[in-house]
Amino acid sequence: MIVTSVDIPGPLVIEPKVFGDERGFFLESWNEGRFAEAGLDWTFVQDNHSRSAKGVLRGIHFQNPNPQGKLVRVVSGAVWDVAVDLRRSSPHYGQWFGLELSAANKKMFWVPPGFGHGFLTLEDGTDFLYKCTSLYDPSAEQSLQWNDPAVGIDWPLDGIEPQLSAKDREGTPFDQIRAYA
Ligand SMILES: Cc1cn([C@H]2C[C@H](O)[C@@H](COP(=O)(O)OP(=O)(O)O[C@H]3O[C@H](C)C(=O)[C@H](O)[C@H]3O)O2)c(=O)[nH]c1=O
């Protein structure tokens, strides 16, 4: 397992060990002991799965209170996945990091509590799976406006208009969100 930090302290890119053979492959997507040995001492209470067509954009979502840490991965298709630092105390407040997660690259991405999360699907039939460190709390959930120039996420849209939920079409501007301390 290879664990790589990014230019914002907190989020991590995790490349699991892949055991390939003539049948296909095997990988451990979560192993409490092995991850703890790597300093990734997380406890998950909820698993989620969403499927999207190409061009769907979900996010930027976060819960405050009850922030969720998320360990995310793609098992079919591909996404451009983004984490945004929403901690006012952070020198990186408002900064984002993005990467491609795909069935092909088998990368996983740790989005810590305190960050907003979202993704744009790059292929049809994209299955997105993730583990959460706290339960879904719709009363605490917020949606940061996905294209707020104050954050300036560089989505690989290639000129397409993303498909958004009504909630995300009405996302909150960065300067009006209930951010973390
Ligand atoms: C998130 C969630 C949703 N739901 C129900 C609520 C709605 O009736 C339906 C779709 O919810 P929503 O449109 O919020 O789903 P996404 O847009 O995929 O939301 C997720 O998208 C971004 C990428 C995230 O990081 C969050 O985990 C999550 O907010 O599922 C549940 O029952 N439990 C849940 O944990």
**pLDDT tens, position by position, 59-105:** 999 999 999 999 999 999 999 999 999 999 999 999 999 999 999 99
At 102, which CATH number? 2.60.120.10
Number of domains the chain is built from: 1
Residue 177 lies in a domain: no
Residue 6 lies in a domain: no
In sequence order, the 6+-apart residues with CB closer than 8 A to the CB of 37 are none
- Active-site residue, 136 included: no
Residue 37 lies in a domain: no
Is this prediction's ipTM beyond 0.95? yes
The overall average pLDDT reported for the chain is 97
Range(s) of the domain holding residue 102: 43-170
Q: What ligand 1 atom has the least distance to the C-alpha of 132?
A: 27
Residue 19 lies in a domain: no
Among the options 49, 93, 117, 130, which is catalytic?
130
In this structure, the residue with its CA closest to atom 33 of ligand 1 is 136
Q: Looking at residue 159, what is its pLDDT?
A: 86
What are the φ/ψ torsions at residue 145 (nearest 5 degrees)? -55, 120
Centre of ligand 1 from the C-alpha of residue 101, in Å: 19
Q: Looking at residue 160, what is its pLDDT?
A: 85
pTM above 0.95, yes or no: yes
In sequence order, the 6+-apart residues with CB closer than 8 A to the CB of 20 are none
**pLDDT tens, position by position, 4-46:** 999 999 999 999 999 999 999 999 999 999 999 988 999 999 9
Residue 24 lies in a domain: no
Residue 179 lies in a domain: no
Nearest CA among 117, 172, 114, 162 for reference residue 142: 172
Q: Based on the number of CB atoms within 10 Å of its own CB, is 43 exposed (0-12), middle (13-18) or buried (19 or more)? A: exposed
Neighbours of 157 (CB within 10 A): 13
Please give the Cα distance from 151 to 149 (Å, whole number).
5
Q: What ligand 1 atom has the least distance to the C-alpha of 136?
A: 35
- Active-site residue, 117 included: no
Dihedral Cα 67, 73, 77, 83, nearest 10 deg? 40
Centre of ligand 1 from the C-alpha of residue 178, in Å: 19
Residue 137 lies in a domain: yes
Neighbours of 93 (CB within 10 A): 16
Please name the residue that has the structure tokens 């053979």: 21
